[in-house]
Amino acid sequence: MLKATPVPEARNGADTRERIFDAAEALFLEHGFDGTSMRMVTARAGANLAAVNYHFGGKDGLFREMLARRLDPLHEARLALLGERRRGARGRSLGCEEVLAAMFIPALALARDPARGGRDFLRLLGRAYVDPSPVLREFLSARYAPTIETFKEAFAAALPGIPRRELAWRLHFMLGALAYTLAGADAWRLIAALDPPPCPSAPPAAGARDTEDDERLLARLAPFLIAGLRAPLPDLGAPAAAPAAQRTRAGTA
Amino acid sequence: MLKATPVPEARNGADTRERIFDAAEALFLEHGFDGTSMRMVTARAGANLAAVNYHFGGKDGLFREMLARRLDPLHEARLALLGERRRGARGRSLGCEEVLAAMFIPALALARDPARGGRDFLRLLGRAYVDPSPVLREFLSARYAPTIETFKEAFAAALPGIPRRELAWRLHFMLGALAYTLAGADAWRLIAALDPPPCPSAPPAAGARDTEDDERLLARLAPFLIAGLRAPLPDLGAPAAAPAAQRTRAGTA
DNA sequence: GTCTATACCACGATAGAC
DNA sequence: GTCTATCGTGGTATAGAC
């Protein structure tokens, strides 16, 4: 159905991998995992269909490595910044905003660096986290679980009033709002329609998103998420039934 | 209204549509739009491959009608409940919690009604809103835009301090957290691991979710969302002269 | 070691027989 | 209404060229 236009490039040897990565990334942004065919990718990269199988072992391997290329540096930078802030705090535990900043700032930095992320970096991140394909879901949760765990600890220290289970849920809600917003095929339209940038000098090409937009977007998102994390605890109905033994610990896990 | 025989020989016409609907719904929950093949659907429904094309005009039509079967009653009930509460308020404008309740309560009611929704109703809703397929995205945004607009008005009246653009964004964040959480293939695991129901009498079949779980989930989500909607306004950098060389302030740190 | 050509089976869609 | 046959395209696997 959809044929990607072949790009007549110099197809000299060893950077075939990189060309395939770039093609896969661009197509994944537009069509998702299932919607992106190997034939589209290889045509756009100017490579042979079988090259993907040779270099990455198949479609699954290609997309896993494609994501790791972008997300490994992100999670590394996040952990580094969190550790740095912790050391700078000298015993005092970090505030909720500081922990969230340790998540956001490296992401914005990579979005400004064309070599390690680029303009569409945050959209890629969001698309990856909302994609329904089991391949991507398993890869992401397995590979980046340690980072999430570390940040969960940091948020727990910053929000001593929130029980552990409740905090786990709230981080899940947070991730949902974040991923869904960044992924937005429509968030892009929303930005244009609702939130014109201060300098509308040149209308950007369709589909491209400025890091300026991303910055404003995360600036809007941050207060929303922080207020949600600090929200009053929910009133879950009392168990009331026969096995009424375990409810005492719910307050301060 | 007897479903009568699920036996292959009594496959006379009329309820073929229903069997296909049910099969498509179950498969969509597990594999999403792109991941569900017509061959899977028709095999499970005991129908011929071409039957889908005959009854629904193709895969797109099948999934559109499948979603409308569940979501039309939901949006109808939401609008009805919102109108009812407004009339009951006699001029006083509704509170934020009341508007949110007009979204949540009909959804939970349908999840309790096997005829119009059923156990997996909320998961279906979430999956539909998270699915990246353009077919579903366009259908959902086109068909249910009026409801969203009405609720946006109601939230705007309940939150007079929030500018219109900011409110639009916050509803977008809200929808993200909601859809992502309800869709969760993993949210189901989270429920089991973190939030055991008070009466773990019979372990439910894998993949099935109890309406009890859904109720607790939305009870946790509501305070998070309401606090986010009421959050202090973000500090978007002033449209200063210099072109986008600002240092990060996105974390509000 | 890198890449190409090609064959294989499953997918969605459709035409036409029953 | 239902079915079979068929077409173009999807991911994958392999044999062999450079």
The answer for B 162-191 residues in CB contact with A (under 8 A) is: 165-166, 168-170, 172-181, 183-187, 190
Mean pLDDT, range B26-46, rounded to an integer: 90
A36/B96 Cα distance (integer angstroms) = 41
Range from A99-103, B118-122, B203-207 carrying the lowest mean pLDDT: B203-207
What number of CA atoms fall less than 13 Å from residue B184's CA on the CB side? Answer: 23
Tell me, what's the pLDDT at B184? 79
Q: Is the pLDDT assigned to residue B209 strictly greater than 70?
A: yes
pTM: 0.87
Tell me, what's the pLDDT at B188? 67
Q: Could you say which nucleotides of strand C lie within 7 A of any protein CB atom?
A: 2-7, 10-16
Q: Is the pLDDT assigned to residue B166 strictly greater than 50?
A: yes
Per-residue pLDDT band at B65 (split at 50, 70, 90): very high
Candidates B24, B56, B29; CA nearest to B39 is B24
B161/B153 Cα distance (integer angstroms) = 14
- Domain contains A32: no
B90 at A interface, C-beta within 8 A: no
B125/B183 Cα distance (integer angstroms) = 7
- Domain contains B74: yes
Q: What is the DSSP string of A134-169?
A: HHHHHHHHHHHHHHHHHHHHHHHHH-TTS-HHHHHH
Q: What is the DSSP letter of A178?
A: H
Q: What percent of chain B has pLDDT over 70?
A: 79
Place of tokens 């429920």: B191
B118/B112 Cα distance (integer angstroms) = 6
Q: Is A222–B187 a contact, with Cβ atoms under 8 angstroms apart?
A: no
Candidates B100, B107, B109; CA nearest to B151 is B100
Candidates B190, B175, B60; CA nearest to A172 is B190
Q: What are phi and psi of B132, to 5 degrees?
A: -80, -5
Q: Is the pLDDT assigned to residue A106 strictly greater than 70?
A: yes
A169/A105 Cα distance (integer angstroms) = 23
Per-residue pLDDT band at A236 (split at 50, 70, 90): confident
Q: Is A172–B190 a contact, with Cβ atoms under 8 angstroms apart?
A: yes
Of A173, A185, A220, the CB nearest to B166: A220
Roughly what angle, to the nearest 10 degrees, separates helices B185-194 and A164-183? 170
Which residues contact residue A249 at a Cβ distance below 8 angstroms, ignoring those fewer than 6 apart? Answer: none
Count of CB atoms situated within 10 Å of the CB of A166: 23
Range from B73-82, B129-138, B145-154 carrying the lowest mean pLDDT: B129-138
> Domain containing B100: what range?
67-198+206-229
Per-residue pLDDT band at B14 (split at 50, 70, 90): low
A130 neighbourhood in chain B, CB within 8 Å: 130, 132, 180
Average pLDDT, chain A: 85
pLDDT, greater one: B241 or B102: B102
pLDDT in tens, A43-91: 999 999 999 999 999 999 999 999 999 999 999 999 999 999 999 999 8
B170/B159 Cα distance (integer angstroms) = 11
- Please work out, in degrees rounded to the nearest 5, the angle formed at the alpha carbon of residue A152 by the alpha carbons of B235 and A246: 125
| 3-state SS assignment for residue B163 | coil
Which residues contact residue A175 at a Cβ distance below 8 angstroms, ignoring those fewer than 6 apart? Answer: A129, B180
* Cβ–Cβ < 8 Å for A61, A17: no
pLDDT, greater one: B199 or B68: B68
C-alpha of B28 from chain center: 14
In this complex, the answer to whether residue B54 has its CB under 7 A from any atom of chain D, a nucleic strand, is: yes
In this complex, the answer to whether residue B48 has its CB under 7 A from any atom of chain D, a nucleic strand, is: yes
What number of CA atoms fall less than 13 Å from residue A71's CA on the CB side? Answer: 24
Tell me, what's the pLDDT at A112? 94
CATH number at residue B141: 1.10.357.10
pLDDT in tens, A3-30: 444 444 444 455 899 999 999 999 999 8
A60/A249 Cα distance (integer angstroms) = 43
pLDDT, greater one: A103 or B239: A103
Mean pLDDT, range A163-184, rounded to an integer: 94
Q: Which of A137, A159, A164, A180 to mutate to test the interface with B (most CBs of B within 10 A)?
A: A180
- Domain contains B143: yes
Per-residue pLDDT band at B1 (split at 50, 70, 90): very low
B12 at A interface, C-beta within 8 A: no
A101 at B interface, C-beta within 8 A: yes
- Burial class of residue B161, CB neighbours in 10 A (0-12, 13-18, 19+): exposed
Tell me, what's the pLDDT at A238? 65
- Domain contains A246: no
- Domain contains A36: no
- Domain contains B184: yes
Q: Is the pLDDT assigned to residue B247 strictly greater than 70?
A: no
B132 at A interface, C-beta within 8 A: yes
Tell me, what's the pLDDT at B211? 78
Tell me, what's the pLDDT at B243? 45
Tell me, what's the pLDDT at A9? 43
Per-residue pLDDT band at B222 (split at 50, 70, 90): very high
pLDDT in tens, B92-141: 999 999 999 999 999 999 999 999 988 899 999 999 998 888 889 889 99
Long-range own/partner contacts, residues B4-12 (CB < 8 A, 24 or more apart): B6/B46, B8/B46, B11/B46, B11/B47
- Domain contains A14: no
Q: Is the pLDDT assigned to residue B3 strictly greater than 50?
A: no
Tell me, what's the pLDDT at A204? 61
Closest A-chain CA to B244:
A212
From the CA of B33 to the C1' of D1: give the distance in Å.
Answer: 26
pLDDT, greater one: B156 or A252: B156
pLDDT, greater one: A212 or B13: A212
Q: Which nucleotide is nearest to A56 (CA to C1')?
A: D12
Please tell me the total count of domains within chain A: 1
Chains A and B form CB pairs within 8 A to the count of 208
Tell me, what's the pLDDT at A15? 86
Q: What is the DSSP string of A82-140?
A: HHHHHHHHTTSPPPHHHHHHHHHHHHHHHHH-TTTT-TTHHHHHHHHHH---HHHHHHH
Per-residue pLDDT band at B35 (split at 50, 70, 90): confident
Average pLDDT, chain B: 84
- Domain contains B34: no
Q: Is the pLDDT assigned to residue B4 strictly greater than 60?
A: no
